[in-house]
Amino acid sequence: MAHEVPPLPYDYKALEPHIDEQTMHLHHDKHHQAYVNNLNGALEKHPDLGSKSVEDLLRNINAVPEDVRTVVRNNGGGHSNHSMFWAIMKPSGGGEPNGPIADQIKKDFGSFEDFKKQFNDAAAKQFGSGWGWLIWDGKLKIMTTANQDSPFMQGHFPILGNDVWEHAYYLKYQNRRPEYLAAWWNTVNWDEVNKRFEQAKK
């Protein structure tokens, strides 16, 4: 089965004013589609990999044949990361977290404000393109990855992640990454984050 870009679960302009409509079109329809096209092209050379989920490919990246490993790493990572990214945002999102993730954030970071500050700081300092992540490792931890590397490659399940590639924010925020990071919290879908937190603990 060829991999496909999941449809956006809301309208392209639904995350305005925090993420603009034009960025959503380019990011979802062009960038994510390119990752999927490149991933499928690589997997055609190894039909036995076609039945594996993108997460399984990333978890076992060193088992992927060497001739397509880099393509799968970059584009499979891009596909997995973005599929999560669209799902953990929603119109009129944001606000304080709720449910189990709220309790765990308080336990592991002291407060939501302290967590946000640490997360934004780590993501702002990620040099070049990459992602900021919240993962579960017996407790909640913040990590960053370069390019489209996924926490799955390091044995972690991504609960929440923010894209700090320039294409995610440059049309609206230009070089002001910290401004984008601050605004992004207004889009977070905490119900979806709670679902991912449950998956991560399993």
Whether 10 maps to a domain, the answer reads no
Closest CA to 30 of 45, 1, 8: 8
Domain stops at, among 87, 122, 143: 87
Q: What is the mean pLDDT of each successive set of 10 residues along the chain, which is 202 residues long?
A: 94 98 98 98 94 96 97 98 98 97 98 98 97 97 98 97 97 96 98 98 93
Phi, psi angle pair for 142, to nearest 5°: -100, 135
Q: Answer whether the bond into residue 17 is a cis peptide, omega within 30°.
A: yes
pLDDT of residue 47: 92
The per-residue pLDDT for 67 is: 97
Strand partners, 146: 130
Task: Give the total number of structural domains in the chain.
Answer: 2
* pLDDT for the residue 140: 98
Structure tokens at 125: 């300092």
pTM of the prediction? 0.96
- Coil, helix or strand for 58? helix
- Which of 30, 52, 87 represents a domain boundary (last residue)? 87
3 state SS of 140: strand
- For residue 118, the model assigns a pLDDT of 98
Q: 141 with 181, same domain?
A: yes
Phi–psi pair at 97, nearest 5 degrees: -65, 160
Which domain, by its residues, includes 122? Answer: 99-201
Displacement of CA 92 from its chain's centroid (Å): 19
Q: Same domain for 104 and 197?
A: yes
Q: Domain of 116: which CATH number?
A: 3.55.40.20
Residues 104 and 196 grouped into a single domain: yes
